[in-house]
Amino acid sequence: MQLATWNVNSLTVRLPQVLDWLAANPVDALGLQELKLVDEKFPHDALREAGYHAAVFGQKTYNGVAILSRTPLRDVVRNIPGHSDEQARVIAATLDTPEGPLRLVNCYFVNGQEPGSEKFAYKLLWLAALHRWIGEEMQAHSRLVLVGDFNVAPEDRDSFDPVGLKDTIHHTVEERGHFQALLQLGLTDSYRMFDQPEKSYSWWDYRMLGFQKNRGLRIDHILVSEALRGSVKACTIDRAPRKNPQPSDHTPVVVTLA
């Protein structure tokens, strides 16, 4: 089976591209981030016609996440239990597969703007709450996949300019420490289980020809629990949608499980 993640930067604008991409890449489930729409405006009908169920956690203007799945979704959780948050950033659901239940957690991690800012402090609190809750989820669900826009470039090789951007947002020791803490729960970065091209990124700034110059960051990730690690067959970044007219600034990441 295949699972994917894509920050679409407005589902209203990107729905045609999502439908095109799903037609060409009929993944079993897709985590979407930055819907930028309320639940009432979610395009359930178009996605149902494309063959997908959806669990949605929308918000006006900012944030908003959803899980699309070819099979029904159950036990849906919105945001981090026990962590009060006005922003719609997390949705989790269980898919029933031939190999057993699979828990899919889809997150739009906090951006954080700039180290030292209030938003950065919010990011670190959110990351700590996520870590605590993912630990609990892993106790309850051995087959767990954490996908999303992490807004963290885990290592220097995940950034087009690790020297110039040292200690800036997405590159700080604190953010990377939180990413490592997730791995220490028993999660594995599926992309790094395989040889990959150098300078592989999942996001490029809209400005200054960022994509054309491959000035990007790898900040969209798919982490798998130990029970799933052995069944991971591939993990790829699909740059094609970034070449569309009116692209999202992010592009999909796809994992293939046996």
Partner DNA sequence: ATGACGGTGTGGCACCGA
Contact 84, 44 (CB under 8 A): no
| Number of chain residues interacting with DNA (CB under 7 A) | 29
Exposure of 94 by Cβ count < 10 A (0-12 exposed, 13-18 middle, 19+ buried)?
Answer: buried
Only segment of 70-78, 99-107, 125-133, 204-212 that touches DNA (CB under 7 A): 204-212
Asked if residue 242 binds DNA (CB under 7 A), the reply is: no
Asked if residue 219 binds DNA (CB under 7 A), the reply is: yes
Joined tokens for residue 13? 């604008």
Contact 57, 65 (CB under 8 A): yes
- The site map against DNA for 28-47 (x = CB under 7 A) is ------x-xx----------
SS3 (DSSP) at 189: strand
Asked if residue 214 binds DNA (CB under 7 A), the reply is: no
- The site map against DNA for 81-100 (x = CB under 7 A) is --------------------
How far apart (Å, rounded) are the C-alpha atoms in residues 132 and 80? Answer: 9
Joined tokens for residue 97? 């597969």
Site for DNA in 47-66 (CB under 7 A): 60-62
Sequence letter at residue 238:
D
Site for DNA in 145-164 (CB under 7 A): 149, 151
Beta pairing partners, 148 = 107, 221
**Binder of DNA out of 7, 94, 172, 236 (CB under 7 A):** 7
Only segment of 10-18, 99-107, 127-135, 232-240 that touches DNA (CB under 7 A): 10-18
Asked if residue 116 binds DNA (CB under 7 A), the reply is: no
In whole angstroms, the minimum distance from the beta carbon of 196 to DNA comes to 19
Site of tokens 């997150």 = 107
How far apart (Å, rounded) are the C-alpha atoms in residues 50 and 225? Answer: 29
What is the distance of C-alpha 142 from the center of its chain? 20
Contact 1, 145 (CB under 8 A): no
- The site map against DNA for 179-198 (x = CB under 7 A) is --------------------
The residues binding DNA (CB under 7 A) are 7, 9-10, 12-13, 34, 36-37, 60-62, 111, 113-114, 119, 149, 151, 169-170, 203, 205-208, 217, 219, 246, 249-250
